[in-house]
Amino acid sequence: MVTIYIDNKPYEVKPGKNLLETCLTLGFDLPYFCWHPALGSVGACRQCAVKMFKDADDKTGRLVMSCMEGVTNNQRISISDKTAVDFREGVIEWLMTNHPHDCAVCDEGGSCHLQDMTVMTGHAYRRFNFKKRTHVNQNLGPFINHEMNRCIQCYRCVRFYKDHAGGEDLDVFASKNNVYFGRSEPGTLESEFSGNLSEVCPTGVFTDKTLKSHYTRKWDLTMAPSICQHCSLGCNIIAGERYGDLRMIANRYHGDINGYFICDRGRFGYEFVNAPNRIRQPLHMGQPVDESQMISEISTLLTNSKVIVIGSPRASLQSNFALKKLVGVASFHKGVSQQEQALMELAASILKDGSVHALTMKETEKADAVFILGEDLTNTAPMLALAVRQSVRQQPMLEVSKLSIPEWNDAAARELIQDKKGPLFIATVVETKLDNIATRTFRAAPQDIARLGFAVANLIDSSSPAVANLSEDEKMLADSIAKSLLTAERPAIISGTSCQSDAVLRAAANVASALHKQNKNTGIVLTLPESNSLGLALMGGQSLNAAFEKVKTDQVDTVIILENDLYRHGHAKIIDEFLSKCKSVIVIDHSTNATTSKAQWNIPAGTFAESDGMMVNNEGRTQRFFQVYEKPTIKESWRWIMNIGSAVGNTSIQQWKNFDSVTTAMAHEENLFSGIEKVSPLSNFRMIDGQRVPREPHRYSGRTAMLANVAVSEPKPPEDQDSGLSYTMEGTRALAPSTMIPFFWSPGWNSVQSVNKYQEEVGAALRGGNPGVRLFATTSSQSQYFNEVPEKFKPGENKLWIVPIHHIYGSEELSAKSNSVSKRVSQPYILINAEDAANLQLSEGQVIEFEMDGQSIKLPVMLSTSISMGLAGIPIGLPKLSFIDCPGWGLLNK
Amino acid sequence: MLSTEEIKEIEHAIKLVPHKKAASVEALKVVQEHRRWVSDESLRDVAKFLDMSPEELDSVATFYNMIFRKEVGKHVILVCDSISCWVMGYENLRDQLFNRLGIKYGETTPDGLFTVLPNCCLGTCDCAPAFMIDHDLYRNVKEEQLEEILKRYD
Amino acid sequence: MEKPLTEHIRKDGRPLTLKEYEAIGGYQALRKMLKMTPKEVQALVKDSNLRGRGGAGFSTGLKWSFVPQDDTKPKYLITNADEMEPGTFKDRILLECTPHQLIEGMICAAYAIQANISYVYLRWAYKTAAQAILNAIDEAENAGYLGKNILGSGYDLEMHLHTGVGRYMCGEETALLNSLEGKRANPRAKPPFPQVSGLFGRPTIVNNVETLCCLPHIINNGSEWFKKLSLTADAGTKLYGVSGKVKKPGAWELPMGVTLRELIEEHAGGMQDGLKFRGALPGGASTDFLVEQHLDVKMDYTSVAAAGSRLGTGTVVVLDDKTCPVGFVKNLEHFFAQESCGFCTPCREGLPWVEKILTAIDAGEGNSDDIKLLEHHTRYLGPGNTFCAFAPGAMEPLQSALKYFRDDFEKHIHDKKCSYKLIANALIHEAS
Ligand SMILES: Cc1cc2nc3c(=O)[nH]c(=O)nc-3n(C[C@H](O)[C@H](O)[C@H](O)COP(=O)(O)O)c2cc1C
Ligand code: SF4
Ligand code: FES
C-alpha cells in the first residue's frame, strides 16, 4: 500500500492502479468518458483532469489526466482545485458544442453517463452560439440503433468493438471534429458482442433497438437480478419489465464470470418472453381452464395412473428437483438424447473429479496458453470466446510490464504489443471466428481432434495413452501444442459437448490432467449444451430412451414433461409415437413448441423473468435468478409441481411453502447440491432497517396512474414470498447483498457506470463477493487417464459423416424465438468440403438428399474449404430443421 | 478488381514493412495513382488484398487529406490557403480560379477536367502565393498567369 | 561565414549527384564514423550541443541515449521530412538539393543507435524531393553506403522512402509512427517514448531533416567546430527563412543566433515599400508572435524562449501594418482546426470554436464575450491539457496576438467591421 494525498488528506491505496480508478474506488465522484474499467486508459477525452503537485510546497501544480497517471507514494493531487474544476467543466462544454441536446427523445435520457457527468461538472450555461455539425445515421441491423449526432467522440465504441471484442466492421472515420463512428456502409453489425455498445457508449449513439421497439425509461423498469438462459456460462443479467412485458436485458456485473459484458444472444434473446403465442394460462385440450380445476383433475389423473416425468436442461434446479420428488428418481427422466446425456454426465464427472481446477471466465482471460478442442466458442459459449480473445494478450503483456508500462495504459500496451499474440491452438471441425488470433488451427473430424488431444497429453506425460498412426503434421502440431502448454504459467484447456464426441471430452481431460501433473495452475473449461445441463447431469434419473421404452411396454399412461421440447432431443417419429401412446400428456412450459401442441394439459410455466430458480453453470457454480414480475396465471414450474404434489398428498412436497423450502429440501436431500441454500439470502431477508430491496428505482414514475383505465384505486402490489425483494420502489436503497442487486444506481450516477460504486475496488469483486456457490471443490488428487483413444476417421463411400455445427443465433431454442434474434437465424444447409462436392458433382445451393438413421433429409449444399473431406456439417437446432442425431453416417441418395 | 500493375506495386510496398496492414497507406496511394481516386469498390478490393476489413481500411483512408474517397477531375488543383499565401493575397487568385472554372472548393468542372481543393502550406512560403496542379508546383503566381497555366492541362 | 549545410547547393537547384557529393567530401564522415563505436558517435553529438531542428530543440545526443543499448532487433531511424508547418520551407531545400547529405546523416544517426532499418517520412507535396531522395538512395546502395555490410564494416542499414498522404499531424513524431504503421495518424501517449517503444513497438528515433544534415559535418569537423559556428550557446548554423510582405523573401543558412532584425532587414531586404513591421512568428504557425520590441532578440532556442516565444523551425512569417492581425490569426486557427486529428476533446472541439469566433470577429459579428472565450481557450488548450503538443502550438499565435494586438480585436468587435479590409479594398480601387 502507498499513501497519496487528495486535497491534502492522506489515503492508503493499492499501488499499480491509475489515479482515476483509485479515486473512484475511494468513493470520489471524478468524471470520465474514455476510460473504461475493462478497456483501460487512452487519455482521449481529458475529462478526468486533476491537479498534481510536486510536493507539499508546490502550490501551483499542473493539470494531469488522472486516468493516465499511476499512483505513487506520497503523490499529491487535488480534485477540488479551481483550475481542475473549471477545466473539467470546460471539457463538457466542448463536448456539448455539437451535442443535439435531445435528451427528451433520447433512449439514454435519464440513464446517461453524459448527463451525469454534465451535472457533476456543473456545466449549465451554453456559450457556444454557432451552428452544430450533424451526421447521417446508419441502419445497423436488428439489435442496435445508431444516432451519431449524440456522439462525444470518446472512442470507447471502437475500443470495445475492435480492440476488445475483435470486431472488424465498426470503426472511426474521418478526422478533426468530423470523426464518425459506424460502419463503412450501413448494415448489420457482425460482432456477437455488439449489444455491449449500448452500455459502453456513454451517451445515446448506440442503443438497444429491441428496447426502443417497446420503449420505456430505464428507471421505469421493474428489475431483478437474473441469469442468462441461453448457454451454459451463466452470465449475470438484469431483466427489466414494464406493463407486463419484459423490455430489456442489461449486463449485471459479475467479477468472475461476465464482467462488464454479455453477448448478443443473451441480451436480445429475451423477446421470447413476450411472444404472442406464449402459454399464459392453464389449457386443457387447447381450451382455457380454471387453475384449481386443473390441479384437481391432474391430481386425480396422477393418483390413478402410471406416471413418468421428463425433466429439462433448461429448467431450474428447483423445478427439476420438484418434478423428481413428485414421482421418485426411478420415474424421473432427464429429457435429453442418449448421446447428450452421456456427454453431459461425462463432462460433469470430469469437473466433479476436481483434480484440475475449473476456470472461471475471468481466469480464462488470464490464461497464457489455450488449447481448444472441438468447440466453436463464438457459437456455443460466446462470452468464453471473448475471454479467450483477452488471453492471447497475456504473454505479450509480459513485455509491456518489462518496460514498466502499466497494464491499464491500453494505448501504450497495444502499440508495444502490436499484433503479437500468445499461444492459442484451436482444433475444430470447421473454421471459427477465433482463428484469426490462433497460433495454429487444426481442422478435422471429432475423432481426429480427440486423437490430437490424446497425443498432446501423451507428449506431456508419457503415462497417458499414446496415439498410433498420427501423420507427421499431426505429430508436429501436437509437439508444438505440448511445448506451448508446458512453458505457460497458467495454461487452459477448453472443450465441451458441442461436437457431440465423448472422445474429445476425454482427450481434453487427459491433456488437462497430464499438464496438471507438471503445473498445478492448469485449468479446464468445459461447455455444456444448455443453461442448466450441468445441474441436470448431477441430479440422477433415467434416460429419455428409458422413458420411450416404458411407454412402449405399457408401463406408463401419463407423462409430465417439464420445460422441454422433446422434438429437439429425439426423432420426430419416435416422439410422435411416444406422445400418442401416452394416455395423458401434461406439459409444463412457457413457450409453444411441437411438444406443447401435443399436450392434453398445458401448464403455464414462468420463464426466467416470471420465476425464481437456480442453475448450475459450466464451472459448477450455482446461481439464482429472481422473479422480475408476477403474472397471475403464470407460476414457476416448481410451484405448479408443488401445488400438484400437495394435492396428490405427496408428504414431503406438502412440507414446502416457497422457494426456500424447495431449495433447502434439495440441499439436504441431494448430496451434490449441499450448500445451494447459501446461494442467496432466504426469503425473510430484510435490509438493516427491516425493509426489502426494491425492484424499482425510486425514480419510477406513474405507478399510481398505470392502471387508471381499469380502476382509480391503486391495487396492492404483490408480495414476494420467495425473496427479500419488493415489487415496487418501496424499500431500502442501501447496498443489497451482491446476489440481490436488481439494478445499479448511485446518487449522481444514473447510468450503468454506477457499478463502480458496488465494487470493492473498481473492476474487482462486487461488495459482498461475486454471487454464486461453486459446487465442486478443487481436490489435490491425481485423476486417472482415459484410455479410449478413438480410431482415425475414415471417409466412407457414398456417405458422409454428419457432424453438428452450432450457430449463436438459431441453435439455441429460446433465443431463436426472439423477434430480433430470429432475423439473424440462418437457413438450413449442409456444409461439404469443396473437393468432396466436386467429386459428387454438387454445387453450392444444390439440394442434396441423404438418409440418416431412418430419416430422409434434404438440404441445400454449402461449400467449405475448411471442413475435412468425408465430413458434412449440419446447423443443428435451427427452428426449421428437425432433430438429427449426429454424429453419424448420412447415406447419399443418388 | 485490382490491375496486375497495381498488385505488383502493392506487393512491393508490403515487402518494405513487417506486416501487410502496415502497407495500407501505400496501397491506397497506388490505387489513387492509377485511378485518381479510391472508390468504395477499390477500397474493398484493397482491403481484401491486405486482409483488412473495409472498415479498418476506410478508417485510415478517410483520415488523410490526400486520399480522395470521392471522384475528382482529371487534374486536381490544390490551392495553398495557409498563412504566407494568405498574407500575400492568395484569396484573389482563388476567386479568379473559381470564376474561371465556374466551381468552388470540392467541386469538379462539368467537363471533368479540374477539381479545386484547398490545401495547407505547400512549403514554398517565400514564393507565395502558390498552388499545385497534379505534380506541378506553381509559385509566385500572378493573376494574369492563371489562364496560361490552366491551358497546359487538358 | 561557414555554411556547411548549403554551401554546395547548386544555383539551378538540381540535386548533387553521388559523384558531385563525393567530390566535395561526401561520405567521408561515414568512413570516419564507422571506425568509431556507436557510443563514441553519441558522445560526440551530445558534446556538439546539436539541438533538434524539428521545432522542439531537444538535444539530439541526449535523445539517442535513451535507446536501449542491447542489440535486440529491429531498431528504427526515421527522418521527419513531413514539413507542413505553415510558413516553413527549410527542409525542402535540403531534401531537394542535397539528398546525399541527408542520407549520410541518417546513416550516422542510425549507426549511433544501431538501427538497421530507416525510413524517410516525406511529405506528399514534395514531389521533386521524392525523386531526388529515391535516386540518391539508389546511388548510395550501389556504392555500398547502404545495405548489407556498409563499406565492409559489418554494419547493415536499409533505407526506404515513405511519402505521406497529407496531414499536419503526421509531423508529430508519435503520430508519424502510427502513420508509418499504416494507421490513422493519431499521436501516442508518452511515456513510453519512441526511443523505447516506437515504430512497430520497437526502439525508434525520429529526427528532423536539418538535424540529420548537421551530423556529417559534426563528425568531420568535431564538436568544438560545430559549437563555434554559432553566435550563441546553441550550437551550429541554422536554416532561417522569411516570408510575408518583405522585399526579398527567402531562406538562408546563417550562424545560430542572428537577430530577428538582421534576418528581416538584411537578408529579407526589409519590409515592402509603404509597409511597416508589426510582428512576426519566429518559427512557423505554432509559435508566439514577436513584435517590434523583440527585433534584436537572437534567433536561438534559448533567447527566443526568453522573449516568450519559440524558435520553432526558424522560418519567420512577417505581419505588416496593413494586414489584419485578426484575419492573420483566423487563417492560422482555420488551419489548426482543419488539421486536428480528432482524438482529444479540447483540440477537436476547442479549435473549431476558436476559428468560428475569429471568423465572426473578422466579419464584424463578434461580441463582447468573445475575447474572454478566446482567452479561455488559450488557457485550457495549453501544454499538458491536450493529448499532444498540437493544440498548445495552435494557441501560441492566438495568445500572443491577444496580448500584442488586443486593440485590433476590440476594435473589430466595437466597430462591427474589419477596417483593414476597407483599406485593402480602397487600395484595389485606387489601382484599377
Ligand atoms: C503538431 C506537430 C507537428 C510537427 N511537425 C513536424 C514536422 O513537420 N517536421 C519535423 O521535423 N518535426 C515536426 N514536429 C516535431 C516532432 O514531433 C519531433 O519533435 C521532431 O521531428 C524531432 O526531431 P528533432 O529532434 O530532430 O527536432 C511536429 C510536432 C508537432 C507537435
Ligand atoms: S459513439 Fe459513443 S462510444 Fe463511440 S465515440 Fe461516440 S460517444 Fe463514444
Ligand atoms: S477518462 Fe481520462 S482522459 Fe478520458
Bridge partners, C422 (sequence order): none
Q: Give me the CATH topology for the region C237-320.
A: Ubiquitin-like (UB roll) (3.10.20)
Tell me which chain C residues have a C-beta less than 8 angstroms from the C-beta of B84.
86-87, 243-244, 249, 317
> What residue ranges line ligand 3, CB within 6 angstroms?
A 20, 32-35, 43-48, 65, 67
Q: pLDDT tier at C422 (50, 70, 90 boundaries)?
A: confident
Amino acid at position C342, single letter? G
Q: Which ligand has the nearest atom to the CA of A36? A: 3
Whether C166 lines ligand 1, by a CB cut-off of 6 Å, is: no
Distances (CA, A) of C153 to A857, B57, C75, C141: 73, 41, 18, 15
Model confidence pLDDT, tens digit, residues A404-428: 999 999 999 999 999 899 999 999 9
Distance from CA of C86 to the nearest CA of B (A): 5
Q: Which residue of A has its CA nearest to C337?
A: A176
pLDDT of residue A806: 97
Cell numbers that stand for C84 in this block: 507542413
Q: pLDDT tier at C431 (50, 70, 90 boundaries)?
A: low
Distances (CA, A) of B123 to A288, A352, C89, C315: 84, 73, 4, 11
Residue for cell digits 538535444?
Answer: C59
- Taking a C-beta distance cutoff of 8 angstroms, is the pair A273, A260 a contact? no
Bridge partners, C162 (sequence order): C121
Model confidence pLDDT, tens digit, residues A816-859: 999 999 999 999 999 999 999 999 999 999 999 999 988 899 99
Query: Which atom of ligand 3 sits closest to the CA of residue A32?
Result: 1
Q: What is the mean pLDDT of chain C?
A: 96
Distance from CA of C201 to the nearest CA of A (A): 4
**What is the interface size between A and B, counted as CB pairs within 8 Å?**
34
Cell numbers that stand for B101 in this block: 472554372
Question: Could you tell me which of C165, C213, C168 has the C-alpha nearest to residue C60?
Answer: C213
- By percentage, how much of chain A surpasses pLDDT 70? 100
> What residue ranges line ligand 2, CB within 6 angstroms?
A 151-157, 181, 200-203, 205
Query: Helix crossing, C406-415 with C370-380: angle to 10°?
Result: 140
Contacts of A885 (CB under 8 A, 6+ apart): A337, A339, A570, A571, A852, A853
Question: Could you tell me which of A121, A123, A513 has the C-alpha nearest to residue A349?
Answer: A513
SS3 A427: strand
SS3 A472: helix
Is B40 in Cβ contact with A173 (below 8 Å)? Answer: no
* CATH number corresponding to B4-63: 1.10.10
Tell me which chain B residues have a C-beta less than 8 angstroms from the C-beta of A174.
62-63
Distance from CA of A91 to the nearest CA of C (A): 7
pLDDT of residue A707: 86
- Taking a C-beta distance cutoff of 8 angstroms, is the pair B49, B10 a contact? yes
Q: What is the mean pLDDT of chain A?
A: 96
Facing residue for A415 by CB, picked from C197, C340, C351: C197
* Mutate-to-test residue for ligand 3 from A23, A29, A48, A408, highest number of ligand atoms within 8 A of CB: A48
Q: pLDDT tier at C1 (50, 70, 90 boundaries)?
A: confident
Write the ipTM. 0.95
Tell me which chain C residues have a C-beta less than 8 angstroms from the C-beta of B23.
182
Ligand 2 centroid–CA A416 distance in Å is 25
Alpha-carbon gap, residue A553 to A551, rounded angstroms: 5
Question: What is the biggest distance separating any 2 CA atoms in chain A, rounded to whole angstroms?
Answer: 92
Which of C331, C338, C425 to probe the B interface (max B CBs under 10 A)?
A: C331
Q: Where are the domains of chain B?
A: 4-63, 75-151
Which of C91, C92, C126, C183 to probe the B interface (max B CBs under 10 A)?
A: C183
Distance from CA of A179 to the nearest CA of C (A): 6
H or E element that contains A145: strand A144-146
Query: Which atom of ligand 1 sits closest to the CA of residue C60?
Result: 25
Contacts of A707 (CB under 8 A, 6+ apart): A714, A715
Residue for cell digits 502565393?
Answer: B129
- Work out the average pLDDT over A185-209: 98
Question: Could you tell me which of C319, C324, C396 has the C-alpha nearest to residue C358?
Answer: C324
Q: With a cut of 80, say whether residue C427 has pLDDT above it.
A: no
Residue for cell digits 472512442?
Answer: A155
Distances (CA, A) of B35 to A449, A826, B5, B69: 48, 38, 12, 11
For domain C18-228, give its CATH number from 3.40.50.2000, 3.50.50.60, 3.40.50.920, 3.40.50.11540. Answer: 3.40.50.11540
Q: pLDDT tier at A595 (50, 70, 90 boundaries)?
A: very high
A887 upstream amide cis, omega within 30 of 0: yes
Is A172 in Cβ contact with C184 (below 8 Å)? Answer: yes
Q: pLDDT tier at A549 (50, 70, 90 boundaries)?
A: very high
For domain B75-151, give its CATH number from 1.25.40.10, 3.40.30.10, 3.40.140.10, 3.30.365.10. Answer: 3.40.30.10
Q: Where are the domains of chain C?
A: 18-228, 237-320, 325-431
SS3 A491: strand
Query: Residue A621 — φ and ψ, nearest 5°?
Result: -95, 125
Alpha-carbon gap, residue A518 to A456, rounded angstroms: 14
pLDDT of residue A893: 82
Is C196 in Cβ contact with A127 (below 8 Å)? Answer: no
Model confidence pLDDT, tens digit, residues A243-279: 999 999 999 999 999 999 999 999 999 999 999 999 9
Q: With a cut of 70, say whether residue C50 has pLDDT above it.
A: yes
Query: Which atom of ligand 3 sits closest to the CA of residue A34?
Result: 4
H or E element that contains B100: helix B90-101
- Count other Cβ atoms within 10 Å, centred on residue A690: 7
* Mutate-to-test residue for ligand 1 from C63, C85, C339, highest number of ligand atoms within 8 A of CB: C85
SS3 B114: strand
- Work out the average pLDDT over A757-782: 92
pLDDT of residue C70: 82
Question: Could you tell me which of A154, A121, A204, A115 has the C-alpha nearest to residue A33?
Answer: A154
- Work out the average pLDDT over A770-790: 90
Bridge partners, A831 (sequence order): A862, A873
pLDDT of residue C430: 58
Amino acid at position A470, single letter? L
Alpha-carbon gap, residue A190 to B46, rounded angstroms: 20
Alpha-carbon gap, residue A66 to A408, rounded angstroms: 12
Residue for cell digits 535507446?
Answer: C67
Q: Work out the burial of residue A834: count CB atoms within 10 Å of its CB; fewer than 13 is exposed, 13-18 middle, 19 or more buried.
A: middle
Ligand 3 centroid–CA A20 distance in Å is 8
pLDDT of residue C425: 67
Tell me which chain A residues have a C-beta less than 8 angstroms from the C-beta of C342.
153, 174-179
Interstrand relation of A847-852 and A888-892 (parallel, antiparallel or unpaired): antiparallel
Question: Could you tell me which of A652, A715, A662, A659 has the C-alpha nearest to residue A685?
Answer: A659
- Work out the average pLDDT over A483-508: 97
Distance from CA of C339 to the nearest CA of A (A): 7
Distance from CA of A26 to the nearest CA of C (A): 24
Q: Which ligand has the nearest atom to the CA of C186? A: 1
Distances (CA, A) of B130 to A146, B90, B124, C242: 43, 8, 7, 16
Tell me which chain C residues have a C-beta less than 8 angstroms from the C-beta of B119.
125, 166
pLDDT of residue A777: 86
Which of A175, A400, A421 to probe the C interface (max C CBs under 10 A)?
A: A175
- By percentage, how much of chain A surpasses pLDDT 90? 95
Query: Helix crossing, B54-61 with B24-35: angle to 10°?
Result: 70
Q: pLDDT tier at C426 (50, 70, 90 boundaries)?
A: low
Facing residue for A184 by CB, picked from B19, B54, B63: B54
Cell numbers that stand for C12 in this block: 539551378
Distance from CA of C290 to the nearest CA of A (A): 26
Residue for cell digits 498552388?
Answer: B131
Alpha-carbon gap, residue B5 to B17, rounded angstroms: 20
- Count other Cβ atoms within 10 Å, centred on residue C372: 9
Predicted TM-score (pTM) of the model is 0.97
Query: Which atom of ligand 3 sits closest to the CA of residue A67?
Result: 2
- Taking a C-beta distance cutoff of 8 angstroms, is the pair A821, A465 a contact? no
CA atoms A202, A204, A210, A213: torsion sign = positive
Is B135 in Cβ contact with C200 (below 8 Å)? Answer: no
Nearest residue (by CA) to ligand 2, atom 4, is: A157
Whether C82 lines ligand 1, by a CB cut-off of 6 Å, is: yes
Alpha-carbon gap, residue A427 to A451, rounded angstroms: 11
Which residues of A sit within 8 Å Cβ distance of B? 162, 168-175, 183-185, 419
Facing residue for B120 by CB, picked from C127, C168, C341: C168
Q: Identify the CATH class of C325-431.
A: mainly alpha
Is B86 in Cβ contact with C243 (below 8 Å)? Answer: no
In angstroms and rounded to an integer, the radius of gyration of the C-alpha atoms of chain B is 18
Q: Which residue of B has its CA nearest to A168?
A: B53
Alpha-carbon gap, residue A560 to A156, rounded angstroms: 50
Which of B15, B83, B85 to probe the C interface (max C CBs under 10 A)?
A: B83
Ligand 1 centroid–CA C313 distance in Å is 9
A313 upstream amide cis, omega within 30 of 0: no
Question: Could you tell me which of A202, A203, A146 has the C-alpha nearest to residue A170?
Answer: A146
C192 upstream amide cis, omega within 30 of 0: yes
B neighbours by CB contacts (3+ pairs under 8 Å): A, C
CA atoms C292, C295, C297, C299: torsion sign = positive
Ligand 3 centroid–CA C344 distance in Å is 9
Distances (CA, A) of A812 to A565, C170, C264: 12, 49, 78
